[in-house]
Each structure stands twice: as structure tokens, then as C-alpha cells.
Structure 1
Amino acid sequence: MLLKLFAPVLHSFRVGVQRMTHVFARSTSSLPSQAIMHSEHGDPNSVLYLENSQMPRTVQDTEVLVKMIMAPINPSDINMVEGTYHMLPRLPAVCGNEGVGEVVEVGGRVSSLRPGDWVIPADTGFGTWRNFAVSDQTLLRKVPNDVPAISAATIMVNPCTAYRMLKDFVCLHEGDCVIQNGANSAVGQAVIQLAKEWGYQTINVVRNRPDLDQLTEYLKSLGATHVVTEEFSRSHQMKDLVSSMKSPPKLAFNTVGGDSATNILKRLDNKGVMVTYGGMSKKSIAVPTGALIFKRARLTGYWNAKWVQENKENPELVRMFDDLFDLVRECKLLPPASETFSLSDFQHAVKTSLEGFKGSKKIFLMDEYP
């Protein structure tokens, strides 16, 4: 099963190391393009549609024509379509916040990019679920094209979230422990790999499922120290597990909410911090009074889109991407197991992305490359 899930990753390595062979005739004034769009907010299974159009080849002085290569379906993309995300684009809008594309044409005053470069959106709301996009150069970020395309397409949201949460809230030292729920999510998998690289232990909570043994084996192959179920996290055995470690977790990552969040909060060390970055259960967090008074636990949140928006000129932003891509090259930061879809098959892609116990990230592959 794992080989099947990672087939797109192996395919993307070829995409990453081979330059695209598609050549666009200079005489062509426009290019056929498709885009997945929505003109109203609501159920993604109902409001999304595929629009066919002709994309002009000509660009203005500071503009860039980008041919999209890959783009994932993330929870934030779905939330934008539903109208529940805190940042919403003007409608009608092309869907998709994350993805990687190749520069095809550049305007006369564009000096930082050239044809053949790979780029990702510099901000939220770009609209990546399409074949082509014309954008001002300031809205794009150049990324290496010597890495797998799937890694570049999925670097902007989940690995960056994991990186910042591990760096910004608690000063961790080698051997320290981090606990997280939703550990099989793309962020959770990135947390496991970065923690392993930086010498941290991890306790990873997941929902019970039919293929639990397989999931546990997979997460441990990424570097997970312990993998436990939600039921186990509520038991006395969980207390024993934490007691057996060098010290209780100093940092907790919550993407579930509800009882799951309360359970990992209870396991924090004195003055520990729980960072919430999602709310999959859509349930509020019940905070034990003792955790606040006697353990002096701190609860806070992280929103990657906002951090990136506020740190566009911060050298730490560049350093973060450099660090992450170095780990990608060293095969120490693998992309999540994935399944690819064509744009024309968007209904199936979106439907399966909304199903429970997803075993793979759903990714739009704009073309089948040799």
C-alpha cells in the first residue's frame, strides 16, 4: 500500500530533476487553460466548477506567465470555498493556495525570474488549481528546481507550520519531548521529521483505525518516538508512558480540539505550551483549571498564512525555506504520501479529500510529464 501511495512521489522526482520538455511556439498568442473556480461560498461538492479559457501569452513589464505543475488540496482551500476561512478572495475566484509552477514568460522589467525557474505563491489566495497564471513578480517566490516537484508544491503550508511551531514557542534542547494530536496529518508528519532531525522526542496521537499498525509503522519510519491512539491518551498507560521519559513534554501541538486537545494539555510539563493550529473536530477546548494554576501552562495559536504575511521582509523567512529545501535534498523531509488527479477529475479529488481517515494527500497534477 505504501508503494502505491508513494508512487506519485517517485514520479515527482523525475519531474524535479528533468526540465519540462514542453515548448510553446512563440507565434502562439494564447494558451488553452483550465481552472477550478467558485462564484459563491458553500459545499465544495456543489459550488466548484471547471472553467475553460484562453490565457494570453503576452505579459506586462513586471508580470510573469506561470505554467502550474502541481497543487495540493489543503483544509484551508476547502475552508475558503466554504467561506469559513479568515482570509477570503474576491469572487469569482480560482481555488488553491499552494502549488509550484514553472516560469514561461517574463515582462521586460522582471529581473529576478527567468523562463525555466520554479515559483510558488508568496501569499495566500493565489489560485493554484489551474494550468496557467499571469502574476506580478512580487506575488511569487522563486524555489529550487532541483528537488521533487511534489516537495516544492507542498512546502509552503505544512512544513513551514511545523518549522515555526517547533522554533518559535519554546526553547527546546536535544532530548526534549513534543506531543501532538492529528499526528498523521501533513503538518504532523513534518513535525515528526523535523523533530527527529533536531534531536527531539515525539509522542504522536492518532485516531484508531483499521490500518493502525500500518500507520504506526509508517510514522515510526519517519522518526516518531511513540505513536498512540486517542483512547490510549486518556488511559493510565499514557501517564506511565510520559513518566518513563526523560521529562514530560514541554510543547504540544493541537489540530483537533475538544477532548483530544485537553488530553495532550494534561501531559505537558510545568510551564509547558500548547499551540493550536487547527480545529478538525470543531469542538471547543476544555482547559483544566489545575493546568493553568499549578502547571502554569500557556495556550496560544499559530496561523502560518498570517506569519508569512507579517514576515515578508524578515530574513528568517528565507532561512526557513533554505533549511527546509536542504532537508528535502537530503531526503530528511519527505512529502506526505499522495494521490494525484487531473483538473478535469476535480470532483472526485475534492470528494475524497473530505473523507475521513484519508491515507494520502490529494494533489492536482496539471500534466503528465515524461
Structure 2
Amino acid sequence: MIKVGIVGGTGYTGVELLRLLAQHPKVELKAITSRKEAGMPVSEMFPNLRGRVNLKFADPSEAPLKHCDVVFFATPNGIAMQQTRELLDSGVRVIDLAADFRIKDVGVWEKWYGMEHACPDLIEEAVYGLPEMNREKVKTARLVANPGCYPTAAQLGFLPLIEAGVVDVEHLIADCKSGVSGAGRKAEVHALFAEASDNFKAYGVAGHRHLPEIKQGLSLMAGKQAGLTFVPHLTPLIRGIHATLYARLTKDVDLQALFEKRYESEHFVDVMPAGSHPETRSVRSANFCRIAVHRQQEGDMVVVLSVIDNLVKGASGQAVQNMNIMFRLDEAMGLEQIPLLP
């Protein structure tokens, strides 16, 4: 059994990790930390876990994290980098669901996240945990930087086009919409029911923290600097991301065949039939990315529609997928949940 610890188990990604790991056949949950809620039974905060998770939240200083095989950080940005080195030195593998190790350029990271990085030397070692790009590196990683939600949906949508070299990578557009759970489990006015319900708005148009992460991934795919216009939007949904991606074709290609071939062996990427329009509800609570590719009026513009659940394939589910790869388990183990409808 894999002994697992979770740091920061009180947020939406934390409870999603608990939901998935509690039913994983090869996992033993050893510790869940929260300074504020130390001593509280997990099921008291999250009644959906009653009878499945019998642990209490523990103070991080007292939790047996060094006795775990892997520790997940489901914490705000800036927390994992304070504790990761000590865990790695103790032989514990780390999967960070925040952004502490995603961006390789430390200066860029510090600019966008507004703080000094505590262990910049570990950034180079960290493996970016998008399995469809870096599966072989994840297998041997000690430290995995789990991708963000918008970056997951956008990169999986653009990946076949950029790898095949059939689009202009200098003028890509990602028009993305997210449910309110993407902002985390905290009290903020914009996420209040009366503010977010029956409303739709763009935000972060001048610059969003996920922009450098997406551009980094697209540039690695292309082998040169990619240009990206990224505009996120907040929608009155709890879960879900819908990414509408635009690129100009530079070569004539059978787009449907290109996407089907690229993802034919990927368990968690579903290329839908030609002409499809994937819906966020089709991936709710499941670790799937569903993709459809369109070419409008046989012109030179390709439109890719990519949908994920921001808390699963966009966060905790992908983290469990990475854990499975790191410990040489079936990649889909514990992640076969059917999406919820209605």
C-alpha cells in the first residue's frame, strides 16, 4: 500500500483528493493537515466522506508526513516550497497542486506570484505533471508540479496541432471559462452566490498567473517561443472548464485524424466525433478531457473545444494520475468514476 499524506486538506482540491484517494485500492491515508482545524474529524467538515475517511485534521508540525511514501500539497501558492526539501531529503515523494514548481524561470515565477522563491534549485528538478506530455519523466520523479486547470485544458487542446507543426504558434488564442470552485474555498465577494449566479464575466485580461505556465508548455511543444492571447472568464457553474482554442493552419491536414491518432492511447483524453460540441457536464467529477476539433468553412482557422472538470483533471484527479505513474500502477486506478449527470 502507498502511504499518503495531504497538506492542506480543507479546500476544494483537498476534499477532492480525499474523495479519490479514499476509494483507491492501493492507498492508505496516513495524515491530513490543517493548522486551523487540527483535531476536527474530516467527516465533520466534509460529510460526504463519513464512513470512508476516519482521520482527524492534524497540525502540520505533528503529522507523520516523513513516514509517508508521497505527500500531496493542496495548499495556497508559496506553502509547498517551504516544506518540500525536508520531505525529499527524507525519501518522500511530493506532488504539488499549487504553482510553486510549475514555471522554470524563477524570475518569471516571482513576478507573477509576488514572492521570493524559497528553493529555486528544486524548480529545475521538478517534473511538470501533464502525463500526456511528460509521462516518462513523471515515472522517475521525486517532485511533480501538478498543472493548473486552465493550462491543462488549453495545452491538451493545442498539443496535437503544435507537435505536428501545422499551425502558426506565434498567434494562438485561448478563450477559457471556469466555474467558481476554481477560485478555491474561501470567502471572497466575487464568488458569493448573489455575485456569481446569473452572471458571466471576463477577468485577468491584462494578465493572469496561468498565462506564463501555458506559454511555457506551448513553447516546449513548438521548440520555439509561442505567442498566446489568454482570456479567462467566470461562469455561474460550480465545476468545469470550457476552453475554446483558436489557431491558424499553415498546412492542410486531416484534423480529426490528427487528434485521434495523437490521443488514441490516452485513457483520459476523449477525442469526440467530427462536428461534436463537448459539454462541461460530460466530465463533471471525472478525470477526463473531452476534445472536439473544427475547421470553419474549410478556411485556415482551426477551433478546438476542450472541456475538463477543474477539480479533477484540472487538479486532484490529475495528481492521483501522476501518483499512479510514479508508483508504476495502472494509470487509471482509482480514477474510473463515470461523470455525473444531470
Fold shared, TM-score > 0.5 on shorter chain: no
User: Which of the two has higher C-alpha Rg?
Assistant: 1
Q: Under a length normalisation based on structure 2, what TM-score does the superposition of the two structures give?
A: 0.31
